[in-house]
Amino acid sequence: MVIKITKKSDKGNRVEYKSSKFILTPKDIKKADIFDLNLTKTIKNIEEYLLKKGALTRDRKKIDPLFVWYTVGKKINEFIKINKIEKDEEQFFWFQFYHKSTLLHNKLPNKYCLTRNDFKTALLLTKFPLKTIKKVGPWSMWRDILIYKVLLNDERLLEYVIQYLIKKPKTVHGSRPFLKAINERFKKMETAMLPDKILFKKIKEIKINNPRG
């Protein structure tokens, strides 16, 4: 697949076609243009849906951020299932998605960062029921949770974090020492190779300095 990228600058927009392929044909370019048009329509439909639901305002205010991003994640998931995206092209897809929305972001970052792409984070949220997501905490807490690769690379760790925060509710600030401790313990370890019994034993050995909240 080929992804059409539009880079904005003070001098105007510059269009590029990105792909893992070395040579692009006119057919590739045409497909990329159609894909880009469908992507634009999808984003507009998401925004209009959220506006009608009263979860988003025209001046970019999110009334219910968690619902907004969970809905975005579901719609992205549907789009990806219809439009199969190669692994090598994913970074270009997320870049373009991030820069196309006019309502979901107040402003674009000076430097694009895949690990802090809210659209990708929204997609990851949809692995769990919205009811469970809400019990854990607000959108800002989920942004903190899903930035850690150790949690994304081992579903057992992510499930543990979810259940821990449900049983012991914390504020966004209060959850950070816990998340950091989990990350520090396992960031240099191939946890996928560990049996459940050993993994959870190592989790219990973690000492966490909890602030209030």
CB 69 within 8 A of CB 118: yes
pLDDT digit string (tens) for 28-61? 999 999 999 999 999 999 999 999 999 999 888 8
74 pLDDT higher than 60: yes
pLDDT of residue 115: 61
- In the DSSP assignment, the letter for residue 210 is P
Mean per-residue pLDDT over the chain, rounded: 88
pLDDT of residue 91: 84
8 pLDDT higher than 80: no
| Higher-scoring residue by pLDDT: 112, 201 | 201
pLDDT of residue 114: 58
pLDDT digit string (tens) for 161-170? 999 999 999 9
In this prediction the pTM is 0.85
112 pLDDT higher than 80: no
Contacts of 17 (CB under 8 A, 6+ apart): 2, 3, 4, 5, 24, 28, 29, 32
Select from 40, 44, 33, 38 the least CA-distant residue to 3.
33
pLDDT of residue 110: 46
3 state SS of 166: helix
